[in-house]
Structure 1
């Protein structure tokens, strides 16, 4: 009786560069490594710039308390914003409104000599000031006292004297002048209109502030 041939164990072959599975695995590893390196480079290229911590109004001095650092991925666009690396300018003032949370444009910052407005306080009814906040944009109306106070109302019809000016400060006291229902509001007046507004204040004109559409206002409680 003849013997059956004994089966020979197959020897495992080392994977070669011609093995498709090995090539696919190596390609996946290289791809993952490349993507990780790209992600690290992208994260490292973020640029720290300043953002407004609170509402910034024209004429306001820039301080560390009014700003916060934000790391942004803006590439070449970041050149248009105030970089943290340069620090705050020694004579840095806000030239135009920057809302809370917004990045601070370089064009919105300049020297004190470049500020085109000056703060001036006027007394208004509390009803006129009640909804306002720092940064509100208002039109200013004034009613001057009548020359002949014996006829009718003591004031002439109101007329617009300033348009779209910003509120820089609100009084914290309960009242000003002879009326306990009045408040002082500091508005930013273009310098060419300062003298005319001071004349109205000295004539004891009655002022009313009217918020422009879309202006920031106090939230109703």
Structure 2
């Protein structure tokens, strides 16, 4: 008997094609499907922006709001947060005004817009004795102080006339008219405070407008 034939040769292992019941194959399919779904969700979330109105410049109470005062920006907002702002998917309501100050570039809140009949402030021109600080500008908040005339040689005591008023406009004298001219600060006075403010201005008392630093208009 030939010894070479008595030795068994190596048996080649057969590779089986994995079936659908193979756990490794199922796990791989699930991982791929999960990655695809996650990627699709991420792309969808990135594109889920909301068009809202943005103030082109500072809006002050009483200022009419139209297409020239706002622009449109695409921002990502949650459903609850988006309800606080005017969506640009709808046209601006006709005849609306700002009822509170809105800063330049700020999203336009629903609560900052109403009809003119809902506005309870009136613009009043206040000539100030001394030039106000540079921070006294449109949209800023200021306190108005008055100093009565000196009587009986007693030093005058300034008193607070009105506080936290929104500045609608500041007219600073320039050019040849600057010498001796007064700066006029137009402030928005609540209607119930108008009698006292107008009375103080009519009495020609010394008036000072003091900036409220770091304060945001209501």
Query: Under a length normalisation based on structure 2, what TM-score does the superposition of the two structures give?
Result: 0.80
1:219 aligned partner: none
1:35-71 C-alpha deviation (Å, 9 max, x unpaired)? 1232244345432222334333211222334434242
Q: CA deviation at 1:136?
A: 1.6
1:122 aligned partner: 126
Distance 1:177 1:198, change over 3 A: farther
Which residue of 42, 45, 51 corresponds with 1:42? 45
1:73-93 C-alpha deviation (Å, 9 max, x unpaired)? 211332222111112222121
1:11 aligned partner: 14
2:137 aligned partner: 133
1:76 aligned partner: 80
The runs of at least 4 aligned residues of structure 1 exceeding 6 Å deviation read 175-178
1:108 aligned partner: 112
Q: CA deviation at 1:177?
A: 8.6
1:59 maps onto 2:51 in alignment: no
1:138-159 C-alpha deviation (Å, 9 max, x unpaired)? 111123446x7xx658x95322
2:200 aligned partner: 200
Q: CA deviation at 1:28?
A: 0.8
Distance 1:176 1:165, change over 3 A: farther
Bigger shift: residues 199-208 or 5-14: 5-14
Larger Rg: 2
Q: CA deviation at 1:207?
A: 0.8
Provide the C-alpha distance between the structure 2 equivalents of 1:89 and 1:82, rounded to a whole number of angstroms: 10
1:124-183 C-alpha deviation (Å, 9 max, x unpaired)? 14443433122221111123446x7xx658x95322211110111111433899963631
1:21 maps onto 2:24 in alignment: yes
SS in 2 for 1:13: coil
